[in-house]
Amino acid sequence: MKVRQISVFLENQSGRLASALAAVGHAGVNIRTLSLADTSDFGVLRLIVDDVDGCVKALKETGHTVSMTEVLAVEVPDRPGGLAAVLNILSVAGLNVEYMYAFTSRIKDSAVVIFRFEESDVAIAALQKAGVSIVAAERVLALSAEESSKEDA
């Protein structure tokens, strides 16, 4: 149910992002979704990929600082107020969202949003109790591949 996310810490210097993504590409790893956040000194590149171990290995071999985190992929109704409704469920449960970012693929009439919580198991329980679907890691990794297949047809 949880998805393994890779975080890459990058100095705010020209070429560091390109270097990290080149390492991922040369390793034959496909990025499913990503997020980039920065401060004045460094950035954090967060990746969901189809080969976590290969990605981590490639990044470390090229001198990048890497860590692993578990996140949740949540189906959010793709309509006005859909995300607010999910966030309200979390608020009522006393859960803080550390960060989130949207996945580019959809499931039926829902957007897929990646959430990071300090207490993932509590978040899973609160969301499921409210009828919100958590997307399994295998399904998350298949989403972009399914869309590519539809475009090729």
Q: Burial-class residue 115 by CB neighbours within 10 Å (0-12, 13-18, 19+).
A: buried
Tell me the mean pLDDT in the region 8-22: 92
Give the global pTM. Answer: 0.86
**CA-to-CA distance for 66 and 42, rounded, in angstroms?**
13
User: Which top CATH class is 71-152?
Assistant: alpha beta
The ranges assigned to domains in the chain are 2-69, 71-152
DSSP state for residue 63 in the 8-state scheme = T
Give the separation between CA 98 and CA 90, rounded to whole angstroms: 12
Query: What fold, for 2-69?
Result: VC0802-like (3.30.2130)
Mean confidence (pLDDT) of the chain? 90
Amino acid at 113: V
Is the pLDDT reported for residue 76 higher than 90?
Answer: yes
* Domain pair 2-69 / 71-152, same fold: yes
Residue-level pLDDT at 149: 46
